[in-house]
Amino acid sequence: MRSWPFSKPKTPGFGISRSYYLTILSSRSVLPAIAEVANPAGIGGAVVGLAVPLEGTGEKAALLQPMHRGPYVIASKDRKTVLKMMVLSKQEAGYDPEDYVNSTLAVGRDPELLVRIRATWTIAQLVFESHDPAVYPALDFFLGIAARLANLSDGVVADSISLRYLLPNQVLAEARLDPLIDVRDHVDVKFE
């Protein structure tokens, strides 16, 4: 079957809600530069993509400065997926890490995870502005950005939909069950 160049791209039959988000809790007072999180060549272990602050002069030097309070945009290199990220202080976001750390939900959790949550300094919320019609590459890009920022900032990824906190190395499954998508990257089974 021939695909016409002006036909709609193939999709898996579903998309990604614009209300889906991840929160990165950073335990460093100084955040990495946005170019360390994503850059076109993936230099220094960054995710391959395009990332810029939405505020400021628009000069290239701003990409190499530590991130600060405000909005950022991060796009996949092919520009099919565009993410928005807002960086805030924990006070401005109204987040108190002690609420979780002192709750019964924290019982039995990894001590390193709890130390990082307790040390939260800034919060970055990551949402989809648009996504690749194939969906799976967009999800991988989204998780990759979250894990990279958490790793660079000694942080934790908070997934409010799955009600879980993850260390950066836990965001993506090490050995995928399926080459396209591994459900363990997106949901957490609480009961059998």
pTM of this structure:
0.86
pLDDT interval class at 103 (50, 70, 90)? very high
Top mean-pLDDT range of 4-8, 56-60, 112-116: 112-116
Q: Six-digit token pair at 54? A: 């939405």
Residues 47 and 84: beta-carbon distance below 8 Å: no
**First CA to last CA distance, the chain:** 44
pLDDT interval class at 131 (50, 70, 90)? very high
Distance (Å, whole) CA 127 – CA 159:
12
**In the chain, % of residues over pLDDT 70:** 83
